[in-house]
Amino acid sequence: MPEILMSHVTLCVTDLERSTRFYVDTFGFDAPYRRAAGDDFAPLLGLPTLDLELVMLHLGEQRLELVCHRAAPHPRTEAPMNTVGFTHIAFYVPDIDEACARVEAYGGTVDAAHRIKTTVHGEQREYAFVRDPDGNRVELIKGSVLG
């Protein structure tokens, strides 16, 4: 089988500048690539017309694409975490408290009810769920990389 590489994960956002600052300043992404996309990409996305701007963020080899439709995007519909499909993005962080403070400083929200300490494979670990400025779920993990 030929080598297959995962390209990126995409989040639709309402304010490209705000979301770019959030992911750059909170998690240390670089933002080297930005462009507009028009009707030539509309069939790919299953939309009748398309007018969007995107930023491709880099964190090491990982890529997070932020897209902002210039026409108003559809409102968020909140799905429970046990709904089939995309549920969240996750980051390993060295300090949960410091990461939560950065999340709030850059426009995200932290809910203390969604934070735990537990032991996994003999290691004491911390987990927290936070939200980016558009309400997308982000998991913070303090502990060694698993898997």
Residue 139 to residue 128: CA distance in whole angstroms? 6
Residue 128: strand pairing partners: 115, 140
H helices within the chain, ranges in order? Answer: 16-27, 42-45, 96-105
**C-alpha dist (Å) from residue 96 to 49, 57, 118, 128, 129:** 42, 22, 14, 7, 10
pLDDT tens across the length of the chain (147 residues)? 788 888 889 998 999 999 999 999 999 999 988 988 877 777 777 777 778 889 999 999 999 999 998 887 777 777 777 777 888 999 999 999 999 999 999 999 998 889 999 999 899 999 999 999 999 999 999 998 887
3-state class (DSSP) for residue 45: helix
The pLDDT of residue 59 is 96
The pLDDT of residue 87 is 87
Q: Which residue has 């930005």 as its token pair?
A: 34
The pLDDT of residue 13 is 92
Q: What's the one-letter identity of residue 59?
A: L
The pLDDT of residue 81 is 77
Cα 7 to chain centroid distance, Å, stands at: 14
Residues in the chain: 147
The pLDDT of residue 79 is 79
The pLDDT of residue 30 is 95
The pLDDT of residue 4 is 84
Say if strands 89-92 and 137-142 run parallel, antiparallel, or are unpaired. parallel
Residue 36 to residue 17: CA distance in whole angstroms? 14
Ordered structural domains, the chain, with CATH:
9-69 (3.10.180.10), 89-142 (3.10.180.10)
Q: pTM of the prediction? A: 0.87
